[in-house]
Amino acid sequence: FMSPDDSMIVTYKNCCEKGKSAYKIWAFDIKKGNFTKYEEGSGFIQGLTWKNDSKRFAYILLTIGICFPEYVDSTIYRMDRDGKNKKKLVFEKERKINSLGWSPDGTEIVFCDYGLDFVGYIKSVDPGTKKVRKIANMKDIDGKVDKKKPVIPSFVNWISVKGGG
């Protein structure tokens, strides 16, 4: 994932080691031409987003177990571009966060999740206060929840609406 200022690429690898999910995160500094390993651990990276000023990025880390979603917990972390100051912003027990995106003004990160209730949610978190806000859920939008065909929202990208109309 290329930083908005085109100076750095953050990449990750998900794999299975000794029967458990594992991940590694690296950064490639384009000017210096080198890779730096930021971290590794157990779990599975689901997605990553950069803040528009290229000073921070956020990512989703999932625990992976045998039966979904009982054994899937999701966490959103944010980290400085140098791999330091890692902070936990959101923890969702037995819910899968499947997508996220940092707002253009940097004041919130929108994410989508779902769990055993079969209701997909669109939420946001303030990276400064860690306060989570529920924006909408698929039951409110669609009027029902079909457990045989649940609708799972995914965040794709921010759009700009100019001109007020």
Specify the pTM: 0.90
Cα–Cα distances in Å, from 130 out to 5, 79, 97, 124, 133? 26, 14, 16, 9, 10
The answer, yes or no, to whether residue 20 has pLDDT greater than 90, is no
Cα–Cα distances in Å, from 39 out to 7, 13, 17, 19? 20, 11, 16, 20
The residue written with tokens 């909408």 in the block is 136
| Confidence bin at 61 (pLDDT 50/70/90) | very high
List, for residues 39-53, the tens digit of each pLDDT value: 999 999 999 999 999
- Cα-flanking dihedrals φ and ψ of residue 37, to 5°? -80, 125
Arithmetic mean of pLDDT over the chain = 89
The answer, yes or no, to whether residue 69 has pLDDT greater than 70, is no
Query: Residues 89, 102: contact at Cβ < 8 Å?
Result: no
| Confidence bin at 163 (pLDDT 50/70/90) | low
Give the pLDDT mean for 82-104: 95
Give the pLDDT mean for 91-109: 93
Classify 118 as helix, strand or coil.
coil
Query: Residues 12, 26: contact at Cβ < 8 Å?
Result: yes
Q: Specify the pLDDT at position 164.
A: 55
Please state, in angstroms and rounded to a whole number, the distance separating the CA atoms of residues 33 and 36: 10
